[in-house]
A and B are shown apart, each in its own frame.
Chain A
Amino acid sequence: MDERRITVTVNGERTTVDVEPRLLLAHLLREGLRLTGTHIGCDTTNCGACTVLYDGRPVKSCTMLAVQADGHEITTVEGLGIASELDPMQEGFKEEHGLQCGFCTSGMMLTATALLAENPNPTEEDIRWALSGNLCRCTGYQNIVKAVLWAAKKMRPPAAV
């Protein structure tokens, strides 16, 4: 099949690759770039395990074509922090026991990251609404909500006195 040349910035790194037009973005990330922290759950845009940030907005990479990412910036879970230094969102998920099997966690953290970028002081209700496109079968969400609140608190600049 004919391939198309695309240039994508993934976690800050510009990459040029040749892809089949039908290749899904999730597969480009996982197979082509070996960023396996992006998981594939449902193939129908429901579960959100494959959520990545597309120019800062959460998208479900299993129903988006790789060619649609041409010229855009993608952030995956691997871009959230490096091994020795954790993003507050990652810390929050560990501190508040916001994960069990870990399969939905990457997508959850990225969706929540986009939420906090837009709304640094979310209520529990804001968080529950923002995360309603990401399914978790293990936790019952209560601790995920707490994890996001934890991260929001940590990210906020200390209140002026």
Chain B
Amino acid sequence: MALDEIKIGGLGSSRKRVEDDRFIRGMGNYTDDFKLPNMLHMEILRSPIAHARIKSIDTSKAWEIPGVHMVMTGEMMATRNLAWMPTLSYDTQAVLATDKVRFQGQEVACVVADDPYIAKDGCEAIVVEYDPLPPIVNPRQAVAPGAPLIRDDKEGQNDNVIFRWEVGDKEGTDRAFAKADKISKLQLHYPRSHPSPIECCGSIADFNPSTGKLTVYMTTQAPHIIRIAVALVAELPEHMIRIIAPDIGGGFGNKVPVYPGYVCSILCSILLRRPVKWIEDKSGNLISTGFARDMYLNSELALSKDGKIQAVRFHADSDHGAFFSDAQPSKFKIGLLHSAFACYDIPYGHITAQGTYTNKAPGGVAYRCSFRVTEAMFFQERVIQAAAADLGMDAAEFRRRNLVKDEQFPHRTPFGFLLDSGQYARCLDVGLEAIGYQDFLRKQKEARARGRRLGIGISTMTEPLGAGNSREYDILGIKMFDSAELRVHPTGRAILRTGAKTQGQGHETTWAQIVSHELGIPAADVIVEEGDTDNTPFGMGTYASRSTPVAGAAVAMVSRKIRAKARKLAAHLLEVSEEDVEWELGRFYVRGAPDRGVSIQECAMAAYSNMPDGMEPGLENNAYYDPPNLTWPFAVYIVTVEVDEATGVWDVLRMVAVDDCGVRINPMIVEGQIMGGLTEAYAMANMQFMTYDAEGNCVGSNYMDYLLPTSWETPGFELHEVVTPCPHHPIGAKGVGECAAVGGPAAFVNAVMNALEDTGVRNIDMPLLPDRVWEAIKYRRDISGAPPVRTD
């Protein structure tokens, strides 16, 4: 008899997490937990100034401190051709500054010592003389006449523009706008943010002079990419580099790029022939590593009287900081910004974008999203709400009228994406029903009559998740596939290794569930390993919700290869031809004689002890999976709020989330991911942003200034689901880890703006801080969140 899939921990089982057993005992192995023999410690000296020429660096006092082994400057790096490194976006980035500093917090020198305290003493003893230059803190300032040139190191770079880019049908869009009954416009800024995992970045580089092998323990979401990057940048042979990503204390995109600290620790280890540990402090993490967002948008929708969107047109200005080091794998300069409006049936669209350098931290990352999708969906849902209001239409009805209908799949967007499946209207209905939409509108009206401001905000979105395909997505030319390797031992227990890298997503639990679903081996009998490049197949890592769509698919495919071989073994054991063997979960049986069967475990033993003549022994295989398309989950988020007019404070009354991420491997983990994403959405709408003053000082360089929501503010969430299996994914799954963080912010902001609808205020930029909301209500004006600029 077939096994009960839920009982063996297969697909759909809310299996408790395997990784928890070590974490709840404090027995995790994070990078900082490793202590190697003879290990030294490295600290980085950072620039206090946003833009300045370096006149001199005097390291002599640092060298005199007992216990200091190395003081490294950019000049010393330059003698090894390592003062600059290539970025993932085909630009260059300073490892240690030589000519100028270009943002506050830029790496200027590093000190290696017996312990981190002495290394910090060493940094303090270094004397750097700076000649300050005018700082640039936003894209408009960057392209203003007479703006100082930030990247004077680059030949042929005569201004601060990095790229100009466009996509769509300009002529068709212009025609649609000319015929529109109404044009709705909105200007927005998505503030700079930082993923800010609680664990900062760090590495332990361990160069072994006797073997020539370099082992690096590292907080990286993509160990294999790091290995190839180190091989290319440091010109070390790839087989002599081993990257180990141990347990990671949260990533959210922050731990994808290559940072100067990694490079410095590697070089120092090679030079000193001892292990060198670098563990970043929180300020270092916040002011220098991969930020996200920081985009300005001008958008327009062409509308017909009956509430149909005829065309969309927008321009985006993006602020990339001092180096164009976006960690994104697409061929599109502005990432997947053109996934905006994908869930709506719109015939025409045209997007232009311009990226600029500023004197701010580099390293744009996809913070809990596919690259630039968070901006896309936020802009989309804010503009949709404004358009509904302009038309005097109900916001839910306006969406319903324009959402792609079930029968329209597969649906091609005006920007070229192909959406595979969805039940958008049904998701919207589930959400409206859950929140009690009509009832709330009534209550809102009554409350308003009594002077109270209630608001309701909707966000409906789809998001492209799971890069590749390999045609359009690569990193440094390496295509965006992923991989899995499965070994089934003689007793039917198994080890699975993938090219992904969990950072809290629970791969050790869920990958085993996929194997269990495909082979009927209990999940508890499958151990999962990731993160060590010496022991795992080449893969592109975990970010952009790509693990389940790509690595997860590879796990299913390798399991099927194993099953195909097990079928041959079963035929041999049952003494029938392979065609006469049927499969049910966990066993093969003879067609027409269901009692005559062998379990998958018996097949495994036979693979080592009783294989047919001519068959290669063993039961192991690997699979590399190149997805045919991205997956497109859909979600509806609805928030109700009350705004206090006197203080500008707003409280969340309820938050309803409806997620359709296709088939759910482990519902408990999926819901955990959604709640985490919703919290980050709330954070961005409410408090979390990184801004700069006119001098280029980072405001948000520590957790006293960079506010993250605590258990006290964070609202409760009500979760609902709709399941539309992905037609091209082997188990029907779609990405999910990021939808809530992507689609959530607009729901919160739309709710607050809805509460203010009668004031005529069209927009308050995130975060909706009480003073901004208060000012908007009091003075009946929109509030911009752009950083202030110096006017001298």
Name A residues whose Cβ lies closer than 8 Å to a Cβ of B: 20, 22-23, 30-31, 34-44, 46-47, 49, 76-78, 80-81, 83, 86, 90-91, 93-95, 97, 99-106, 109, 127-129, 131-145
Contact = CB atoms under 8 A, between A and B. Distances in A.
11 contacts: A39-B30, A101-B248, A102-B28, A103-B198, A103-B250, A128-B712, A134-B710, A139-B675, A141-B679, A142-B714, A142-B716
Contact of A128 (B247, B676, B703, B711): B711
A155 to B, nearest CB: 16
Contact of A137 (B33, B252, B702): B252
Contacts of A86: 24-25
B676 A138 contact: yes
A8 to B, nearest CB: 18
Given A100-B504, A101-B503, A103-B30, A133 B710 contact: yes
Contacts of B717: 140, 142
Contacts of B23: 99, 102, 105
A139 to B, nearest CB: 6
Contacts of A22: 117
B63 to A, nearest CB: 19
Given A20-B117, A90-B24, A137-B250, 15 more contacts: A37-B25, A44-B703, A49-B198, A83-B25, A97-B16, A97-B669, A99-B20, A101-B198, A101-B503, A102-B24, A128-B711, A134-B710, A137-B708, A141-B711, A141-B714
Contact of B17 (A78, A97, A106, A141): A97
Task: Describe A's contact surface by its main secondary structure.
Answer: loop
Nearest to B19: A102
B281 interface: yes
Nearest to A106: B26
B711 A132 contact: yes
B27 A37 contact: yes
Task: Describe B's contact surface by its main secondary structure.
Answer: loop
A41 B504 contact: no
Contacts of B233: none
Interface string B300-321: 0000000000000000000000
Interface in B246-267: 247-252
Nearest to B23: A102
8 closest A-B pairs (Cβ-Cβ)? A37-B26, A103-B249, A102-B23, A101-B504, A77-B26, A46-B703, A100-B504, A140-B675
Given A101-B197, A101-B199, A140-B675, A135 B708 contact: yes
Contacts of B200: 41
A77 B17 contact: no
B704 interface: yes
Contacts of A37: 25-28
B198 A47 contact: yes
A137 B196 contact: yes
B20 A102 contact: yes
B672 interface: yes
B26 A140 contact: no
A86 B671 CA distance: 25
Interface string B749-770: 0000000000000000000000
A78 B247 CA distance: 18
Given A34-B35, A44-B704, A94-B20, A131 B25 contact: no
Contacts of B248: 101
B679 A40 contact: no
A100 B506 contact: yes
Contact of B711 (A34, A38, A100, A134): A134
A105 B32 CA distance: 16
Given A47-B703, A135-B198, A94 B711 contact: no
Contacts of B20: 93-94, 99, 102
- Among A40, A44, A141, the one with the most B-chain Cβ atoms within 10 Å of its Cβ is A141
Nearest to A41: B198
A115 B708 CA distance: 22
Given A94-B24, A100-B676, A42 B249 contact: no
A77 B252 CA distance: 25
B21 interface: yes
Given A41-B199, A137-B676, A140-B675, A93 B668 contact: no
A34 B34 CA distance: 10
A77 B30 CA distance: 15
A83 B21 CA distance: 9
- Among A78, A138, A144, the one with the most B-chain Cβ atoms within 10 Å of its Cβ is A138
B702 A39 contact: no
A35 B27 CA distance: 9
B533 to A, nearest CB: 21
B672 A139 contact: yes
A132 B712 contact: yes
Given A41-B282, A100-B676, A138-B504, A90 B703 contact: no
Contact of B703 (A135, A138, A139): A135
B282 A140 contact: no
A81 B199 contact: no
Contacts of A38: 26
Contacts of A141: 679, 710-711, 714
Given A76-B26, A97-B17, A39 B504 contact: no
A109 B24 contact: yes
Nearest to A83: B25
Contacts of A44: 282, 702-704
B672 A104 contact: no
Interface in B342-384: none
Contacts of A139: 672, 675-676, 679
B505 interface: yes
A63 to B, nearest CB: 12
Contact of B702 (A23, A42, A49): A42
A138 B709 CA distance: 12
B281 to A, nearest CB: 5
Nearest to B28: A102
Interface string B674-686: 0111111000000
A99 B676 contact: no
- Among A20, A36, A42, A46, the one with the most B-chain Cβ atoms within 10 Å of its Cβ is A42
B16 A94 contact: yes
A35 B675 contact: no
A20 to B, nearest CB: 7
B369 to A, nearest CB: 15
Interface string B14-50: 0011011111111110101101000000000000000
Contacts of B27: 37, 83
A116 B118 CA distance: 40
A100 B251 CA distance: 11
B250 A99 contact: no
Nearest to B196: A137
B668 A97 contact: yes
B505 A100 contact: yes
Contacts of A135: 198, 703, 708, 710
